[in-house]
Amino acid sequence: MKGVVFTELLDMVEGKFGEDMVEDILDDCELESDGAYTTVGTYDHKEFIKIVTALSKHSEISVKDIVIQYGHHLFFRFNKLMPEFFEGPKSAFEFLESVHNHIHVEVKKLYPDAALPSFKTHRQSSDTLIMIYTSKCPFADFAQGLIQGTADFYKDDIQIKTEDKNSDSEFCRVFTLTKQ
């Protein structure tokens, strides 16, 4: 997993809970990297799980909620860090449709070692977008947070329904997004 996901996470923790929280949770975790993340480095994605689990213990917020919130937060950070991806799409649906075939494609060029999920999208009606997440990593909640972030960013009122379809080889979540 790319370092940017870790540095942004720790930055968020510091912003929301203070410096000490960062030290506390890193102290709790046995990390191969010792928590010395750089944006351009690549780290074991299990370290991410360890960190959010520790944070959950200290903050008494569920892991799921933390990850969703982080996804939401990260979306707005991406908007600051990489504004070029936001030039084309005019709505949340359009943006989400561009993730797999455009944004992540460019990300992959930038970071050839990035492990990116796959998204299939199709519009069931003008108000409904089906988005299917599949990945080797268990980050469906993270995706959900990013989707929520997208909706909020475009100020689209979108109801999100989820259904997990994990298999032995892959994690899978079907998002049904309906404009209200």
Partner 1 sequence: MNKSEEAEKKLSRLKKRIVREKKARAEAEKLLEEKSREIYQLNQKLHEEARLLEATVINAKDGIVITDADFDNDGPKIIYANKAFSHITGYDLDELIGQNPKMLQGVDTDRGVLDNLRESLYSGQSFQAELKNYRKNGIPYWLDIGIVPVKNDDGKVTHFAAIERDITQQKNNQKELKEKKEQAEAANVAKSEFLANMSHEIRTPMNAIMGMTEILNSSDLNKEQKENVEILHNSSRDLLFILNDILDISKIEAGEVKLEYVSFSIKKVLEQSVELFSGMAKEKEIKIDWKINKEIPENIVSDLGRIQQILKNLISNALKFTDKGTIEISAKKEKQSKNNKDIIYVEVKDTGIGIPKEKINQIFEKFMQADASVNRKFGGTGLGLTITQKLVGLMNGEIGVESKEGQGSVFWFTLPLVEASKEDTIINIMPYKQEYNVNKKELSKLHILSVDDHPVNQLFIRKLLKKIGIENVDQAEDGQQALYRLKEKDYDVVLMDCQMPNMDGYQATKTIRKREKITGKHIPIIALTANAMAGDKEKCLKIGMDYYLSKPIRMRDIVSIISNVIINKNSMKS
The binding site for ligand HEM (CB under 6 A) comprises 1-2, 4-5, 78, 82, 85, 96, 99, 103, 107, 114-117, 135, 137, 139, 142-143, 146-147, 150
Residue 78 binding partner per list ligand HEM, partner 1, none, with a CB distance cut-off of 5 to 8 Å that depends on partner kind: ligand HEM
Cα-trace Rg, the chain:
16
Q: Which does 67 bind (CB under 5 to 8 A by kind): partner 1, ligand HEM, none?
A: none
Answer for the pair 149, 76: CB distance below 8 angstroms, yes or no: yes
Phi, psi of 171, rounded to the nearest 5 degrees: -90, 140
Among ligand HEM, partner 1, none, partner that 172 touches (CB below 5 to 8 angstroms by kind): none
Least Cβ distance, residue 98 to ligand HEM (angstroms): 9
> Which of partner 1, ligand HEM, none does residue 23 bind to, with CB < 5 to 8 Å depending on kind?
partner 1
| Interface ranges with partner 1 (CB under 8 A) | 19-20, 23, 26, 34-41, 102, 105
Check: CB of residue 21 under 8 Å from CB of residue 13. Answer: yes
CA atoms of 148 and 157, how far apart (whole Å): 10
CB 41, min distance to partner 1, A? 6
Q: Cβ 99 to ligand HEM, closest distance in Å?
A: 5
Name residue 172's beta-bridge partners.
134
Q: Could you give the CA distance from residue 40 to residue 3 in angstroms, rounded to a whole number?
A: 6
CA dihedral 121, 110, 1, 70 (to 10 degrees): -60
Q: How far is the CB of 20 from ligand HEM (least distance, A)?
A: 27
